[in-house]
């Protein structure tokens, strides 16, 4: 007798609780647990952008924070910056800036990105100072822990963990297989 272990997503993505792109009723879902300081997540970023572009209305893509703070000193703060931008309607813009210039995640760099996005910088700075969005980042992290996430990036395709590499052929293959199963 053998035992098979399969990680499943314990908290499904919702428009109320997640940053999503695509239709909530799309036949495919792709959930990423990521860390803004993780070099592997930075390499996966253009892959997810290509997938979102290719699949369009057939895909709901959700991003969740999973800062590996013990090895990435700026990851949690960067996640809070993304949430502070989200509170002003600019999550995806900050998300892009964080991944495309990952080497600059000091507090002054995050404020410079807020200025670049023309956010209310006073509000952004105050939210960062007060750690206003820490609970959201922690909630995402804990949902990942409960789903078996132990590194980044980790992807779930229609609720099942994708255990292949985070490259375009592998993720598209998992998404196409999930579409055939549904």
Does residue 3 surpass a pLDDT of 60? no
What integer is the mean pLDDT of 44-57? Answer: 97
Could you tell me the CA-to-CA distances from 63 to 34, 47, 83, 120, 163 in Å, in that order?
Answer: 7, 13, 12, 24, 17
Whole-angstrom Cα distance, residue 135 to residue 140?
9
**pLDDT class of 177 with cuts at 50, 70, 90:** very high
What confidence score (pLDDT) does residue 33 get?
A: 98
Does residue 100 surpass a pLDDT of 80? yes
**Domains, the chain, ranges and CATH?**
19-181 (3.40.30.10)
What confidence score (pLDDT) does residue 1 get?
A: 56
Percent above pLDDT 90 for the chain: 95
What would the pLDDT profile of 127-156 be if each residue is shown by its tens digit? Answer: 999 999 999 999 999 999 999 999 999 999
What confidence score (pLDDT) does residue 54 get?
A: 97
Whole-angstrom Cα distance, residue 47 to residue 153?
12
Whole-angstrom Cα distance, residue 174 to residue 182?
12
pTM: 0.95
**pLDDT class of 44 with cuts at 50, 70, 90:** very high
What confidence score (pLDDT) does residue 174 get?
A: 97
Contact present, 88 and 123 (Cβ < 8 Å): yes
What confidence score (pLDDT) does residue 7 get?
A: 87
Tell the residue number behind the tokens 């499904």, with chain if given: 12
Does residue 2 surpass a pLDDT of 90? no
Could you tell me the CA-to-CA distances from 81 to 39, 93, 116 in Å, in that order?
Answer: 18, 11, 13
The average confidence (pLDDT) of the chain is 96
| Token pair in block for residue 138 | 């922690």
What integer is the mean pLDDT of 121-126? Answer: 98
């Amino acid at each position: 007798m053998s035992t098979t272990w399969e990680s499943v997503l314990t908290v499904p993505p919702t428009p109320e609780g997640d940053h999503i792109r695509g239709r909530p009723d799309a036949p495919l879902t792709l959930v990423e647990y990521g860390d803004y300081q993780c070099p592997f997540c930075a390499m996966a970023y253009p892959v997810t952008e290509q997938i979102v572009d290719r699949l369009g209305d057939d895909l709901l893509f959700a991003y969740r924070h999973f800062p590996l703070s013990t090895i990435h000193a700026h990851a949690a703060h960067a996640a809070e910056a993304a949430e502070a931008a989200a509170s002003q309607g600019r999550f995806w813009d900050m998300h892009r800036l964080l991944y495309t210039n990952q080497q600059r995640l000091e507090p002054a760099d995050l404020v410079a990105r807020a200025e670049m996005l023309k956010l209310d910088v006073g509000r952004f700075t105050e939210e960062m100072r007060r750690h206003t969005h820490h609970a959201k980042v922690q909630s995402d992290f804990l949902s990942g822990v409960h789903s078996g996430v132990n590194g980044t990036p980790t992807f779930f395709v229609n609720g099942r963990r994708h255990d292949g590499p985070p490259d375009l052929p592998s993720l598209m293959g998992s998404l196409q297989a999930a579409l055939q199963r549904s």
